[in-house]
């Protein structure tokens, strides 16, 4: 399926593994996506967690890769996920990010910033196995923290006026576009809406659902901004149950 956003396309893992690295320089040593994916899979295996599902996105020239790995650890209706990125055009440091997936509606939400664990500089290939192991151990702690934050959103009451202000703030921050408002209204504000409960968790899920079909690169950017909007509400206006 061709994705119009960010010039990327969903692809199979085999296509990602077959992309060869571009020629580097004395100080810049690009690594292939295969050289990132295999050691990350091995590192993840040391934690006891298995990958239940993989989704990949590539730029047209194959130089930028983004992956989402859904793990087999499920907590209620929520599954843990890892986002993985790599580039061979100097645009991105390779890294991973923590996230959750709400299984009922297939929503995907990330914690925000990537843990950048290596730039493509001299010696990266020799260090990659250890770097991946350290990164996975680091990010699994962030993953659990984010999952707990996600669950706590239900404890914040969201009155109609507050929801309206949050929705405007989300559009202002680029989390959703004005053209998406009608669809969001049906998800959250309309009577009998799927996410119609008056708390921050369900408002957050409605926004996430709205963006679930976006390109994986764009989902990460919008989720980061969405979580910032939620944290602003919590710090300034949130009323705990």
What sign does the CA torsion over 78, 158, 213, 40 have? negative
Question: Are residues 106 and 132 located together in one domain of the fold?
Answer: yes
pLDDT band at residue 16, thresholds of 50, 70 and 90? very high
pLDDT in tens, 189-221: 999 999 999 999 999 999 999 887 776 677 778
What is the domain range of residue 226?
152-240
What is residue 82's predicted lDDT score, i.e. its pLDDT? 84
pLDDT at 104: 55
The distance in angstroms from the start CA to the end CA of the chain is 43
pTM score > 0.85 for this model?
no
Contact 88, 74 (CB under 8 A): no
Is the same domain home to 138 and 156? no
Average pLDDT of the residues in 81-97: 82
pLDDT tens digits along 26-80: 777 778 899 889 988 988 888 888 888 898 988 888 888 888 888 887 776 778 8
Please state the rounded mean pLDDT for residues 90-103: 77
One domain, residues 26 and 112: yes
Residue 44 lies in a domain: yes
Region of residue 106 (left: phi > 0; alpha: psi -120 to 50; beta: else): left
* Sign of the Cα pseudo-torsion (148, 144, 83, 74, in order): negative
The 10s digit of each residue's pLDDT in 129-182 is: 787 888 787 777 777 888 889 889 999 999 999 999 999 999 999 999 999 999
Separation between Cα atoms, residue 198 and residue 241, nearest integer Å: 11
Note whether 114 and 203 are same-domain residues. Answer: no
Overall residue count recorded for the chain in this entry: 241
13-17, 94-98, 101-105, 114-118: which is most confident: 13-17
Q: For the chain, how many structural domains are there in total?
A: 2
Considering the domain architecture, whether residues 41 and 137 belong to the same structural domain is answered as: yes
Do residues 35 and 44 make contact, with C-beta atoms less than 8 angstroms apart? no
147 falls within a domain: no
DSSP letters spanning 134-200: HHHHHHHHHHHHHHHHHHHGGGEE--HHHHHHHHHHHHHHTSS-GGGHHHHIIIIISTT-TT-SSBH
């Amino acid at each position: 399926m061709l994705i119009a956003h960010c010039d990327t396309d969903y692809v199979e893992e085999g296509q990602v593994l077959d992309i060869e690295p571009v020629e580097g320089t004395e100080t810049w040593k690009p690594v292939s996506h295969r050289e990132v994916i295999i050691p990350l899979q091995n590192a993840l295996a040391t934690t006891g967690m298995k990958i239940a599902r993989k989704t990949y996105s590539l730029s047209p020239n194959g130089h930028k890769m983004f992956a989402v790995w859904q793990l087999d650890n499920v907590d209620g209706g929520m599954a843990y996920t890892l986002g993985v990125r790599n580039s061979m055009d100097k645009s991105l440091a390779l890294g991973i990010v923590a996230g959750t997936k709400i299984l009922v509606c297939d929503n995907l939400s990330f914690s925000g910033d990537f843990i950048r664990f290596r730039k493509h500089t001299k010696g990266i290939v020799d260090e990659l196995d250890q770097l991946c192991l350290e990164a996975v151990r680091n990010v699994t702690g962030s993953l659990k923290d984010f999952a707990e934050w996600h669950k706590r959103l239900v404890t914040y009451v969201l009155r109609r006026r507050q929801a309206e202000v949050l929705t405007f703030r989300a559009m202002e921050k680029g989390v959703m576009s004005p053209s998406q408002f009608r669809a969001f209204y049906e998800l959250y504000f309309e009577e009998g809406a799927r996410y119609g409960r008056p708390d921050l968790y369900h408002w957050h899920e409605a926004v996430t659902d709205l963006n679930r079909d976006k390109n994986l690169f764009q989902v990460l950017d919008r989720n980061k901004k969405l979580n910032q909007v939620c944290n602003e509400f919590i710090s300034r206006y949130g009323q705990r149950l």
